[in-house]
Chain A
């Protein structure tokens, strides 16, 4: 395996109120890494640190074996060989497409290189246009070509798809992936869209409030999230309150097997993926004159009871995504559980359902606030 090509060691930066890090991150040559996190988590700051637009207060940044930033070294952004595609592309409005792409090139060899790049991003014949005459997708490709022109060691993309129409994104994503694979270019890109991160990246780094929560392959992030934030952020996992009793964890949906020994009575959160939650409609008499079933607050003792792995609740929300629907059920204990069901199945709002969990050895996390 190739050695680390871009390396951040114990980097910490403070910008006014916001603090990023300290954290370490390494990217291998040719690797495509996504930085994923909600807005305000410091993703863009991370890119700007690598590009050289922000100075770290602590730690060091190494690119291709050269220290570009630490307490004693500083390499200016223009001398780092790092290409950056800005979120809104930052194309020079007064220059044509060709002039934009040639901006970082020497006069002599620019002409051939520009037409080569235009071909690469599929914009032959656009050389003489101005940025404002291009669509969002075309602007993005020009920005990409411009940053690739100088053969950067590392390519940084800041929310590359956020300014595109939703129906254009999948296409541009596929194109970019193909292009980057072909060029074997070390790339770090920032996104708040996990679908985007999972589709494109070899590895995904999850950021929360300036801290690196986990960096791993998409599969591992999904299967084994390191923190409850990652679990919740990726795939809408349910976290059920539970308490250790003997060799099992008692929750509103019944008992789960305890996978590692914990003292009796410990409070834990149990992660259950929506696709592991099954629903079964409970027969309610049609045209019932009575109002919908009473809400949970009534019976306080109704919490942890019933047969193994089962609970009852009311359907309170339904959301369609693709061929599936995400159904939120409010359990009699008051907790909400999301379940992923095929779009065809019918669970009307306010109907009563029985909730069952398919897995019995789920991941557990310490409860929130601990």
Chain B
């Protein structure tokens, strides 16, 4: 491996890294918003909207992101909407992620035992108080591992952005390999930057999980 090549490539990869990070996290944020809206719709069994959410989830969970991006990027202009590759990437990721987030949050909400609601009702809490103070915090804690896995999955999925000419990490690596044949160096940096992007997420995820879950499910502390 040529360290000189690596050093000279770092600024190029760093630029692509920031772009990937930006669009990836905007996509994750959109996915959270969509997922929360979708899960609440399903949990409260809002008529018609629930059916729409179910269709949306199945449609986006069962098609590859690449295909979704092609539809948004090349399909929408046919209908008269033209959007940039960046917006397309973020929206595509948001829609794909939204379907996964919907399911993770909904399963978290469903996992809170019904008798917890009765316990809250016995204390006189209203339905909205029960949801906000009793159900939602527990559901969130239960959902954390799934949500973190989704975030990591979505950030990795950014690697298909190159297909819509977005100059992300993958695009940059392929481009440099095509131009200069420095395959080893390019792939090495590619792996390195992906790890730099995802390792903090994994780490933060396990810290949050540990903190929240040990509180709720932790074993009895006989020392106290």
Partners in one complex: no
